[in-house]
């Protein structure tokens, strides 16, 4: 059965453009409950740790540079079928290919500065949520 939590972060292009409020509103209006949320800036090293699974991909260095270039808003979200429904809400990685009305279609600047992250599995949602929020607190 699909889990009911996912993890997201609003990325530096979107926080920098003043879109974190509008994006958070879309997330809540789509039926996701915000379980945990904060605003932080990663070091390049920590961004590298978060995106370790992409280490072999050609864009890894630039991705870590970019993800540490400004503040991000990580959140744990709750809804039935959370991972799949949230990926639908954000749209394709490349905003040019993202369906109309999705968060990336509305707010992303490019395939790298694409406004928002969404976990791709229940397992990664738990790992990514634990990266930013203490496992010893209750959310
Ligand atoms: N990315 C990039 N260039 C690419 C593909 C991905 O800069 O050609 C960045 C982009 O910010 C993306 C992140 O790397 O969101 C992780 O890539 P993934 O394929 O996991 O896409 P996502 O799951 O975020 O849609
Ligand atoms: Mg991904």
Tell me if 98 is assigned to some domain: yes
Atom from ligand 1 closest to the CA of residue 90: 25
3-class DSSP state of 37: strand
pLDDT digits (tens, 9 = 90+) for 49-77: 999 999 999 999 999 999 999 999 999 99
Ligand number nearest to the C-alpha of 125: 2
**What CATH number does residue 25 fall under?**
3.30.70.141
pLDDT digits (tens, 9 = 90+) for 61-118: 999 999 999 999 999 999 999 999 999 999 999 999 999 999 999 999 999 999 999 9
- CA dihedral over 92, 93, 95, 97, signed as positive or negative: negative
Atom from ligand 1 closest to the CA of residue 113: 11
In terms of residue numbers, what domain contains 85?
Answer: 5-41+72-132
Whether 117 is catalytic is yes
In this structure, the number of other CB atoms found within 10 A of the CB of residue 114 comes to: 23
Q: Report whether 34 contacts 77 (CB < 8 A).
A: yes
Tell me how far apart the alpha carbons of residues 64 and 139 are, in angstroms, rounded to a whole number: 28
Q: What total number of domains does the chain contain?
A: 1
Binding site membership of 117 for ligand 1 (Cβ less than 6 Å): yes
Tell me if 99 is assigned to some domain: yes
Tell me if 138 is assigned to some domain: no
Tell me if 83 is assigned to some domain: yes
Tell me if 58 is assigned to some domain: no
Tell me if 50 is assigned to some domain: no
């Amino acid at each position: 059965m699909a889990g009911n939590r996912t993890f997201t972060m609003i990325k530096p292009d979107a926080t920098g453009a003043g879109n974190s409020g509008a994006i958070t509103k879309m997330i809540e209006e789509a039926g996701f409950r915000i379980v945990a949320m904060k605003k932080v800036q990663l070091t390049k090293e920590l961004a590298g740790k978060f995106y370790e699974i992409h280490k072999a991909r050609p864009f890894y260095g630039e991705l870590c540079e970019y993800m540490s270039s400004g503040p991000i808003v990580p959140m744990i979200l709750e809804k039935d079928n959370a991972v799949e429904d949230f990926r639908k809400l954000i749209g394709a990685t490349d905003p040019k290919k993202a369906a109309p009305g999705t968060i990336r279609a509305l707010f992303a600047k490019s395939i790298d500065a694409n406004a928002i992250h969404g976990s791709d599995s229940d397992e990664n949602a738990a790992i990514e949520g634990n990266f930013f929020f203490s496992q010893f607190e209750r959310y």
